[in-house]
Structure 1
Amino acid sequence: MIKKAPLLLLMIFVVSCSANHAVVRTTKSDPRKTETPVVQRVRKPIYRPATMKNPVAITKKDSPTVGNYSTATEVLEATTRVKATTEMVLAYIENYKSVAKDNMIRTGIPASITLGQAILESGAGTGPLSVQANNHFGIKCHKEWTGPSIKYTDDEENECFRKYNQPSESFKDHSYFLTSRPRYAELFEFQKDDYKSWAYGLKAAGYATDTKYPDKLIGLIEKYQLGRFDAEVLGKDYVPVVNKPIAYNSDVQKYTVVKGDSLYSISKKFNISIDELKRKNNLTDNTISLGQSVIVK
């Protein structure tokens, strides 16, 4: 019995050691499987804006009362050279049409002339004199002026121009300027809605030194249909002006510049070179203004 005891202890020791060993598997692993972890890649969705089945073209109306105008920039040149869009001119007309009509009732000066001159002289309110001095007509000081003034280079360097507290004072002074000077007296013999005679009469009386002043003024009046305000004051029906080439005689033909025109397009339209156009119209560069009359023949 004693001899068997060591043998029993030896058997218990061997069994305990076998339990602590790791189990070794002889089965081969499946070659289609991998132990490397799989990373899922999620593609970022691509944004594609939705398209309309029936797309609608969006257009812009510049004026519901005057007609369709583009917003192209035009050159307005008188006491200064400025650029203004058609929208700016239309807004200017809307702001000062009542003042011009009131002045017509009070003085007899056509509202179309007042507005046309104001647009031309002030660049629709964007010129230096109108911005800095509320002077919308380029009226110089003259010897009788005792109010505030501003220096500005026009025909001569640092000339004296009148300065006003607000634009309406400039409009009122413009009317007084024309009614109080004998040299403009003949203008009041014209019909109150005869803006063409008034335009040429102003130039003849010495209001402006620009030889093309009447054509520029008439061009603006007709482009923006300013004669309708004269008709409103006089209680007449207004007939809109249709701009088209004007033949003065068999030797001379003039064309009124409209939106989109250039010297190049006009030269092609009338089969004349650009240099010849510049020579006939005494142009030093290729700049032309909307409403300007250009000699084409």
Structure 2
Amino acid sequence: MNPSEFIMRLSTAAVASAKATSVPASITIAQAALESGWGESALTKTGNNLFGIKADSLWRGQTLTMNTKEFIKGQWVVVPALWRKYPSWQASIDDHAAFLKRNPRYKACFSCNSAPAFAKALAQAGYATDPAYADKVIGLMKQHKLLDLDGGAA
């Protein structure tokens, strides 16, 4: 799927999620694009998991086990991980927002006054092990004009 199709497919759900949860639509789509390879990753195709959210001990939904690359002790390594599996992309978007809202480590994100600041706060809170994660998310937001979806309320 190309970026335009992916953005169109997620825009309505991302904007609705933003209104309900204060997670900027631009963040939702940029993270989903980055984490899922524009919807083409095996995790997305088999589990509708757009965000690479792992299944922790509190997760009560379906799961699947797949390898992932993690940046550990200064190098990339491949490790198996247990992932959340969703019935649809909408369910993945809804859970992503709920995951961020209920997890105290992401509280600072919700006091940010822009989507780029939200992305930086996410990375600082440890959302991903990639040291360039925030820059990648912000780059996607700018390159694909995703900030326009936030309607000035990012």
Q: Deviations over 1:246-270 (max 9, x none)?
A: xxxxxxxxxxxxxxxxxxxxxxxxx
Matched, 1:171 2:85: no
- Greater C-alpha Rg: 1
1:157 to partner: Cα distance: 2.6
Unaligned runs of 5+ in 2: 71-77
SS in 2 for 1:186: helix
Aligned residue type for 2:136 = K
Alignment partner of 2:144 out of 224, 228, 242? 224
SS in 2 for 1:157: strand
Matched, 1:197 2:133: no
Alignment partner of 2:39 out of 105, 125, 135? 125
Name which structure has the greater RCO, CA cutoff 8 Å, separation 6+: 2
Give the Cα separation in 2 of the matches to 1:151 and 1:223.
Answer: 32
Matched pairs, number: 146
SS in 1 for 2:151: helix
After TM superposition, the score normalised by the length of structure 1 is 0.48
Cα RMSD after superposing both structures: 1.4
1:147 to partner: Cα distance: 1.3
Unaligned runs of 5+ in 1: 1-83, 237-297
Question: 4+ runs of 1 displaced by more than 3 Å?
Answer: none
SS in 2 for 1:206: coil
Structure that is richer in helix per residue: 2
Q: Deviations over 1:136-187 (max 9, x none)?
A: 0000001101211110111353210000111110000000000001111111
- Identity across matched positions, percent: 36
Aligned residue type for 1:190 = C
Q: Deviations over 1:61-96 (max 9, x none)?
A: xxxxxxxxxxxxxxxxxxxxxxx7xxx011000011
